Amino acid sequence: MKKQSESMAPLMRPPFQGGLSLIELMVAMAIGLVVSLAIFSVISVSEARKRNTTGANDMNQNGAFALYQLDQAIRSAGTGFSQQYTLTFGCAINAKNSGKAMIPPASLPDPFSNLTANIGAFRMAPVIISQDPNGKLSDTLIVMAGSAGYGEMPIESTSAPTASPSALHLLNTLSFSAGQQLLLAERLGDSSGSLPACLIESVDTAYSGSASTGVLPLGGQFYTAGTDKALTSYSSNSVALNLGFTPSLQLYGVGSNNALVAFDLLNGTATSVDQIADGVLEMHAIYGVDQANNGTIAWTAPTGSYAASALLDGSVDAGKRIAAIKAIRIGLITRSAVEDKNVVSPATLPFMFGDTDFPYAKTLNEAEQKFRYRVLDATIPLRNALVVSN
């Protein structure tokens, strides 16, 4: 029996088990953790750089697009009525969009809600800068232009306009087509040197284009024909200027959502604005004035005699000051959309308009310094004003 148990003993031993010991497993986990931390650190740095690069590209693109849109509008400002600035620059705009909105509208959406209080009234002018009274918030631009591209010389009346049927009696109607908009201006001013109001009207859509009669029927798109006496208040000394099919009377400003926005005075509603470009924190502007008509530009702040309310007071002198404005200098501050964990911007941004007497620099608090910024500065000539002598 003893020999039998001895011979069976090897068969009852547990089988051999291979693997890692606890120490080996802990060492492997430690090495894996170090490698993971290194990988995540590289990914984090790469993602941060990617975010910064993307943010910088977005700022540059937003700023470039915003300046492009403003450049397009401002360069063409005054088209259709600049040649007759003595009749139009500063005349009050008399218009009503299908009976729904008036100029000035009863109310304007933000960021233009306080504009009427600052300027007093909307009047014809290529570009007007309305500055924030405190000089800290963004400025507002009022930009007006026609779209005809031809026939900018005024067509003189042969007799006073008639209310029924609503029509103008002109020397000729060659430059007008059905559905186009026109500006009716009165040549005579009152004894105080103020300009009479201008009337925006539309050519009747049924107009066939016949020039033989010299009668231009009106359709009343921007003024309700037959319900107002404004048309018959104009005399035989009035003139008609073609504004084209889509005249532009636009307001430009920066909304609370850091976006450059626009509002159409002729077609906009009191609750809507058109968003043009994101990431625009502030917009400021100054005038380039050639008061002596010698080709020398003097940069002038929109204050004093060049404040919006002074330029739009309806006087002949104000019209001459408007005609002396030959360029607009625009400054934009754009901001990245993503906040950084650390402070990445200086406490004071580079000066805007630094080579003029009106430099502007924005001061940032610590929270604002965690975003990235660009300061853009562009000079935009007023093509129509360059050929006008004040």
133-192 per-position pLDDT tens digit:
666 689 999 999 998 765 568 899 999 999 888 899 999 888 888 999 999 999 865 556
Q: Are strands 155-163 and 238-244 parallel, antiparallel or unpaired?
A: antiparallel
Would you place residue 55 in the very low, low, confident or very high pLDDT band (cuts 50, 70, 90)? low
Residue 50 lies in a domain: no
Would you place residue 208 in the very low, low, confident or very high pLDDT band (cuts 50, 70, 90)? confident
| DSSP string for residues in 218-252 | B--SSS-TTT-STGGG--TTEEEEEEESS-EEEEE
CB neighbour list of residue 281: distance below 8 Å, 6 or more residues apart: 254, 258, 333, 334, 335, 362, 373
Sign for the pseudo-dihedral over CA of 226, 78, 331, 284: negative
Would you place residue 17 in the very low, low, confident or very high pLDDT band (cuts 50, 70, 90)? low
How many domains are contained in the chain? 1
Residue 25 lies in a domain: no
Q: Residue 87 is encoded by which pair of tokens?
A: 């009749």
Instruction: Give pTM, 2 decimals.
Output: 0.84
> What per-residue string of b and e applies to 256-290 under the rule 16 or more CB within 10 Å gives b?
eebbbbbbbbbebeeeebeebbbbbbbbbbbbbbb
Residue 341 lies in a domain: yes
Rounded to the nearest angstrom, the gap between the alpha carbon of residue 275 and the centroid of all alpha carbons in its chain is 9
Q: What is the pLDDT of residue 3?
A: 54
Mean pLDDT of 190-204: 81
Please answer whether residues 97 and 264 qualify as being in contact, where contact means their C-beta atoms are separated by less than 8 angstroms. Answer: no
Percent of the chain with pLDDT strictly greater than 70: 83
Q: What is the pLDDT of residue 321?
A: 94
Would you place residue 59 in the very low, low, confident or very high pLDDT band (cuts 50, 70, 90)? confident
In whole angstroms, give the CA distance from residue 374 to residue 349.
Answer: 8
Mean pLDDT of 306-314: 93
Q: What is the pLDDT of residue 83?
A: 84
Range with lowest mean pLDDT among 3-12, 132-141, 189-198, 218-227: 3-12
Residue 350 lies in a domain: yes
Q: What is the pLDDT of residue 98?
A: 56
What are the backbone dihedrals phi and psi of residue 215, each rounded to the nearest 5 degrees, phi first? -105, 125
Q: What is the pLDDT of residue 356?
A: 93
The range of the structural domain enclosing residue 131 comes to 60-79+126-142+254-390
Residue 275 lies in a domain: yes
Residue 105 lies in a domain: no
Residue 8 lies in a domain: no
Mean pLDDT of 328-333: 95
Q: Minimal CA–CA distance to 242: which of 83, 94, 81?
A: 81
pLDDT 10s digits, 250-308: 999 999 889 999 999 888 777 778 999 999 999 999 999 998 888 899 999 999 999 99
In whole angstroms, give the CA distance from residue 253 to residue 261.
Answer: 6
Q: What is the pLDDT of residue 53?
A: 66
> What distances in angstroms separate CA 161 from CA 173, 184, 189, 330, one per listed residue?
14, 10, 18, 42
pLDDT 10s digits, 335-372: 988 888 889 899 999 999 999 999 999 999 999 999 98
In whole angstroms, give the CA distance from residue 304 to residue 322.
Answer: 13
For the cut 60, the answer to whether the pLDDT of residue 99 exceeds it is: no
Please answer whether residues 249 and 263 qualify as being in contact, where contact means their C-beta atoms are separated by less than 8 angstroms. Answer: no
Percent of the chain with pLDDT strictly greater than 90: 43
Residue 179 lies in a domain: no
Of residues 388 and 49, the one with the higher pLDDT is 388
